[in-house]
Amino acid sequence: MGTSSAEHGGSHASTICGRIRVCTHGAGYRELARMTGCNPETIRRNLLNETPTLSLVCALCAALDINANWLLFGLGPMHRRDLTANVVVSFGPETVRTFASEAGRAMARELQDPEPIDEPRQGRATPLRLRSPEAGAR
C-alpha cells in the first residue's frame, strides 16, 4: 500500500535532508526559497547542517504536496495525494466521506467558542483552548 523511502531515491532517502533532495529534485537554495517563501540562507544552513527546521519542513510539505510522515520518517507515500488515494482504497469512499463529514461537524462545534487560557505575555499571542463538546454551552 504505502511506498518506502527506498522507492523514492534509494539510499539518498534515508535521512530527512536526503528526502528533501529527492522531493525537490536537487533544486538549489534560491529555487527552494522561491517555492517555499523561506530565506535561501536559512535553507542552506538547514540542509548543510542536516537539521531542517519545522517551519522549513512545513513549507516544503505545503509547497510540494509532500506527505510529512514520508519527509520526516520515510513512511508512506511521498505525495499527500497518494496518501489520500491509499485511505480511500483501504477504507472505501463512503467510510472516508462519513468520517470527513463527522470530523468537520465536530471541528465547527469546537471552533464556535474558543476561549483564552492565559494572560498574554508581552509581545506574544494569546494561546487558545478549545472546549470539548462535553463542556457544554455557557
What is the Cα–Cα distance from 18 to 25, expressed in whole angstroms?
Answer: 10
Domain definitions of the chain by residue range:
5-78
Q: List per-residue pLDDT tens for the chain, 138 residues long.
A: 444 444 455 544 788 889 999 999 989 999 999 999 999 999 999 888 888 888 899 999 999 999 998 999 898 889 988 876 666 666 667 776 777 777 777 777 767 766 555 554 555 554 545 455 555 544
Cα–Cα distance, 101 to 108 (Å, whole number): 11
Cα angle 134-124-120, degrees, rounded to a multiple of 5: 55
5-78 is a CATH 1.10.260.40 domain: yes
For residue 112, the 8-state DSSP code is T
pTM recorded for the entire structure:
0.54
